[in-house]
Chain A
């Protein structure tokens, strides 16, 4: 299998100071990775480094090639409610790449409609994005991932404001996308339950203790560093990392 993204002895941080031990991982097509940790554990810093938004302090990040497409889905709260955008316009943004916005577009690309169909959100196409429920917004953003044609999707706490049922549904959608499309999915999550059931790889970060654990979700939650932070009950239940 062709590796999409790999990190070798990656040190992440700000202002020349690393905040976590070196990280080694390799993400392949169709894999589902969960990045776990409490608030302030270094999840966002790792995420921003993987996205190329901040430079690594040391080590390297290797991508498959310059043609590899990545797509990022921010937390729902980061979208400004002042914006008058239809759901299909939000999905259409996934099709933009580089300077593609200079090419006139009379109507949304066909990929927008099929992506909305794939996540059962076609009925939302002409609805105002800001007026949708949290779950509906999430489905629209999943359609944006599909429409982008990206091979790697990075989602920042996609289920942060959802109840248990909606969260499970969101993870099922993500799981379906990665299985049918071969998109590698990397999710920052506070919630162990759904992430553990869906992900096949996990990264646990604990900046305070200076620990990084990479492995299967089962290995990670059984790791002494994880148990020390959350207690042994966290390994079996649907607890939040912040509880």
Chain B
């Protein structure tokens, strides 16, 4: 019977630079997605993240297709970013004018990109074993380029979010009022979705769909359950819970020998359940 991994082994691996990249990726992606996920949850579009991850996958598949069949060299990261950003732009379509609901649009994007990924995947079958890892990551061993991308894009996303904070809150809370007062509602909408798309795109490649979806939804839900008064503190707590999910999830996976992405998502679930328990004890809004 195998012995359980020890803390000394983890420290040794960390010092060798084996564990630090995936832990850093998990913590930073959890922090960034936790914070911006608050807006995703408040706008009641939690499945946006999954649709964007699927679009990111299509972008990677198309990059391979272009290289194999068209002789055009496109880096998978570039392909993923291009398709994910194009998908994000669709979210500002005024669905009511088309007789569509937002959920309907999400379903259309998810299914469309999923089907396209399978069709394109068939044409590049010989590369399929590599693509699965590139598409959905493993979160166990992360390449240095992924760390750079997740950290750099994360910093940019948080900086722009901080700059646009009041505008994003106003548009999410009262879009018509914001438009009447001359706020650039469509620019703000597009900015919010593009920032999410950027982070989802780079984080999905490094960590996989499951933890990315979990980071973008569960920490925000937990923070909204715990903090009832100030949105800025909701953002701070959601970021902290996201980072905790990413870091503690990796440690749990290491010591309990579990799949990393699933462990990170499971920690986020546990934190959300703890927030519910807190709310039950603390009681309802007192205004």
Across the interface, do A53 and B230 meet the contact criterion of CB distance under 8 Å?
no
> Nearest 4 pairs between A and B by C-beta?
A131-B287, A101-B167, A101-B166, A72-B180
Kindly state whether residue B234 has any CB partner on chain A within 8 Å: yes
Is the beta-carbon distance between B42 and A83 smaller than 8 angstroms? yes
Docked CA distance A93–B180 (Å): 12
Q: What's the least CB distance linking B244 to chain A, in Å?
A: 21
By size class, the interface of chain B is 20 to 34
B164 CB–A CB distance under 8 Å: yes
A83 (CB) vs chain B CBs: closest residue: B173
Q: How far is the CB of A72 from chain B (nearest CB, A)?
A: 4
Chain B interface SS verdict (over half): helix
- Which A residues are within 8 Å of any B CB, using their own CB? 51-53, 69-74, 78-80, 82-86, 89-90, 93-94, 96-99, 101-102, 105, 127-128, 130-132, 148, 154
Give residues in B with beta carbon < 8 Å to A. Answer: 41-42, 44, 163-167, 169-170, 172-174, 176-184, 224, 227-231, 234, 285-287
In the complex, A130 Cα to B164 Cα: how many Å?
A: 24
Bound Cα distance A25, B173 (Å) = 32
* The one of A74, A128, A131 that contacts B177, using a Cβ cutoff of 8 Å: A74
- The minimal Cβ–Cβ distance linking B281 to chain A, given in whole angstroms, is 19
The answer to whether A85 touches B231, judged by C-beta atoms less than 8 angstroms apart, is: yes
Contact A74–B164 (Cβ < 8 Å): no
Which of A53, A70, A84 has the most B CB atoms < 10 Å from its CB? Answer: A84
Cα–Cα distance between A69 and B182 once the two chains are bound (Å):
9
Report the minimum CB–CB distance from B177 to chain A (whole Å): 5
Chain B residues within an 8 Å CB radius of A84: 224, 227-231, 234
A128 CB contacts on chain B under 8 angstroms: 228-229, 285-287
Name the B residues within 8 Å of A74 (CB-CB).
174, 176-177
Chain A contacts of B178 at CB under 8 A? 93, 96
